[in-house]
Amino acid sequence: MLSVSVVWRRPAPRAVLLGAMLWLALVGSTGAQAPAPSPLPAEVEAALGRARLPRDALSVLVVEAQGSARTAPRLAHRAQVPVNPASVMKLVTTYAALEQLGPAYVWNTPVYLQGAVQDGSLRGNVYIQGQGDPKLVMERLWLLMRRLQGQGIQVIVGDIVLDRTAFEVPDHDPARFDGEPLRPYNAAPDALLLNYKSSVVTFVPDVAAGLARIQYDPPLAGVQRQATVALAAPGTECGDWRGALRAELSDPAKVSFQGVFPAACGERVWPVAAADPRGFAARAVEGMWRELGGKLTGAVRDGKVPAGLKPAFVVNSPALAEVVRDVNKYSNNVMAQQVFLTLALQKNGVASFDGAREVLRQWWLARVGDVELPQVDNGAGLSRDARLTAQALARMLQVAWASPAMPELLASLPIAGVDGTLRRSQSRAGTAHLKTGSLRDVMAVAGYVHAASGRRYVLVAVVNHANAGAARPVFDSLIDWTTRDQ
């Protein structure tokens, strides 16, 4: 039996009608002017009250995705105020990259051999030239080393030289942003970025033996690593299992655990950034080479590929469309910075942050227009200096909706209540594709909401406030309100 429901809709309040008329009157022939403010929906006001957030902590714009700069917004509140967007800034970086590089773009990592191979030995150096690959993770490093062995090499009578000169980036203090140098999100970009400059430590409890076995990936040369840790007393709850381990991780040459691991946790994984980020690539390359049975008489060191040398083989990254999905679904900061710097690398032959900002500025003016240019800083949103307005980001998302790159951008965004950083959203599952962002004092969402009527809306919402961490229900209420056409 077919059920048909009829929904009666109230006429738009007089204030909303007047706001739309004012918007139309203010729009000039060259672009959008300030959106007329709209009353916040009652459920959003209520959510702000419960979160103890003032109205002026929120900037929000809701407008039809298929609209233009002249389209009257459905909801606008402080949309022209520059705010810190946190990781929502990754939308600017990833969309610019999809348009300028193309979704099928791949990063190449060429490998060069200097010298002759005879009887399984290379008498000379191996050169690995980094070109900014954001996803040269452990599995792909393993494949690179296997391809090196496929050249008939088991012994390198020389050095392995790492060429990282494609990126000209300043020295980076991983503790500078928030005093957490061992958090992977604080890793710095690198022309030869291996496994995000991080190790993955896996704990597997063995109750019968009274211990947990520890596995470390990737293997690192010259690092002493504890193989097991005692289990906590029977009945101990999982709780703060990382704290219970009493890890000592600050020594680049040694990893140890002075505490215990609760068996109730089951298998657990702990990603840890390198204590010596600059030396991580050399340790990982040598460690993987020796893990595969290779021998090295020299050292792994930084250097430059000699002029005129041709690559023996090239390792290709996954396509940009896949990389962008990782960046946005899981808000990977260092991958976003690699993508950002690649914009400059492709145009200038060498990558710098200043160069990337200039490339993005030119693209923004050509594609988005004279709407306020974002202050992108490092392109990842892991910044206290980054700024944009809800209006500017919403306009960019409207442009993106009409772009050939739209399917790849949309597919890269977390789905509300389903996956990525939005999997715990309490809004209607599956109704929104939104990038999230969070820092101390900042929370944000931006992307597309699919309304019950079939319309598609751009939603940009940012909270800058000391209590921003409580804003998630506010965003859920905005998503639910947007799904209902007014």
Structure confidence by residue, pLDDT tens digits, 237-254:
999 999 999 999 999 999
Query: Kind and range of the H or E element at 64?
Result: strand 58-64
pLDDT of residue 18: 38
pLDDT of residue 352: 98
pTM, 2 dp: 0.90
20-78 per-position pLDDT tens digit: 333 333 333 334 556 666 789 999 999 999 999 999 999 999 999 998 888 899 999 99
End residue of a domain, out of 278, 294, 317? 317
Q: Are 204 and 212 in contact (CB under 8 A)?
A: yes
Q: Is it the case that residue 143 has pLDDT exceeding 60?
A: yes
CATH number for the domain including 82? 3.40.710.10
d(C-alpha 78, C-alpha 72), whole Å: 15
The secondary structure of residue 63, as a DSSP letter, is E
Same domain membership, residue 444 and residue 336: yes
End residue of a domain, out of 317, 344, 379? 317
Domain total of the chain: 2
Does residue 253 form part of some domain?
no
Report how far Cα 89 is from the mean position of its chain's Cα atoms: 10
Same domain membership, residue 330 and residue 464: yes
Q: What residue type is assigned to position 305 of the chain?
A: V
Same domain membership, residue 306 and residue 347: no
Does residue 197 form part of some domain?
yes
Does residue 261 form part of some domain?
no
C-alpha dihedral over 187, 193, 195, 196, to 10 degrees?
Answer: 20
283-327 per-position pLDDT tens digit: 999 999 999 999 999 999 999 999 999 999 999 999 999 999 999
Token pair in block for residue 472: 């998630």
Q: What residue type is assigned to position 180 of the chain?
A: E
Sheet with strand 58-64: strands edge to edge: 75-77, 58-64, 456-464, 442-450, 432-439
DSSP string, 371-393: S---B-TTSSS--SS-BB-HHHH
pLDDT of residue 11: 37
Same domain membership, residue 298 and residue 156: yes
Same domain membership, residue 151 and residue 114: yes
d(C-alpha 435, C-alpha 416), whole Å: 10
For residues 140-149, one letter each, b for 16 or more C-beta atoms within 10 angstroms of the residue's C-beta and e for the rest, the string is: bbbebbeebe
Report how far Cα 423 is from the mean position of its chain's Cα atoms: 16
Does residue 125 form part of some domain?
yes
CATH number for the domain including 209? 3.50.80.20
Count CA atoms within 13 Å of residue 161 on its CB side.
16
Q: Is it the case that residue 330 has pLDDT exceeding 80?
A: yes
Q: Which of 19-23, 94-98, 416-420, 476-480 has the lowest mean pLDDT?
A: 19-23
Same domain membership, residue 59 and residue 196: no
Does residue 241 form part of some domain?
no
Q: Where do we find the tokens 């992307």? A: 447
State the SS3 of 146-206: HHHHCCCCCEECCCEEEECCCECCCCCCCCCCCCCCCCHHHCCCCCCCEHHHEEEEEEEEE
d(C-alpha 331, C-alpha 420), whole Å: 8
Same domain membership, residue 296 and residue 210: yes
Same domain membership, residue 200 and residue 51: no
Rg (CA), the chain: 26
Q: What residue type is assigned to position 292 of the chain?
A: L
d(C-alpha 394, C-alpha 32), whole Å: 11
pLDDT of residue 428: 82
End residue of a domain, out of 285, 300, 317? 317
Same domain membership, residue 100 and residue 113: no
pLDDT of residue 131: 98
Token pair in block for residue 15: 């204030």
Same domain membership, residue 23 and residue 161: no
343-375 per-position pLDDT tens digit: 999 999 999 999 999 999 999 999 999 889 999
Count CA atoms within 13 Å of residue 52 on its CB side.
4
Does residue 418 form part of some domain?
yes
How much of the chain, in percent, has pLDDT values that exceed 70?
92
Helices 90-101 and 353-367 sit at what angle, rounded to 10 degrees?
80
Q: Which of 285-294, 422-431, 449-458 has the lowest mean pLDDT?
A: 422-431
Angle at the Cα of 480 from the Cα atoms of 475 and 485, rounded to 5 degrees: 130
The secondary structure of residue 422, as a DSSP letter, is G
pLDDT of residue 480: 95
Judging by beta carbons within 10 Å of its beta carbon (0-12, 13-18, 19+), is residue 114 exposed, middle or buried?
middle
Judging by beta carbons within 10 Å of its beta carbon (0-12, 13-18, 19+), is residue 82 exposed, middle or buried?
middle
Does residue 387 form part of some domain?
yes
* Cβ atoms within 10 Å, residue 80: 18
pLDDT of residue 33: 58
* Number of residues that make up the chain: 486
Q: What is the domain extent for residue 94?
A: 14-104+321-483
pLDDT of residue 331: 96
**186-190: average pLDDT:** 97
Does residue 48 form part of some domain?
yes
d(C-alpha 328, C-alpha 400), whole Å: 15
Same domain membership, residue 430 and residue 395: yes
d(C-alpha 354, C-alpha 377), whole Å: 9
Query: Kind and range of the H or E element at 329?
Result: helix 320-330
- C-alpha distances in angstroms, 231 versus 111, 146, 209, 234, 412? 44, 37, 9, 8, 40
Same domain membership, residue 114 and residue 210: yes
pLDDT of residue 34: 64
Tell me the sheet residues that pair with 160.
Answer: 126, 300
Which of 442, 441, 477, 479 is closest to 460 using CA atoms? 479
Report how far Cα 341 is from the mean position of its chain's Cα atoms: 14
Q: Are 371 and 391 in contact (CB under 8 A)?
A: yes
Antiparallel, parallel or unpaired: β 295-296 and 155-156 = parallel
How much of the chain, in percent, has pLDDT values that exceed 90?
87
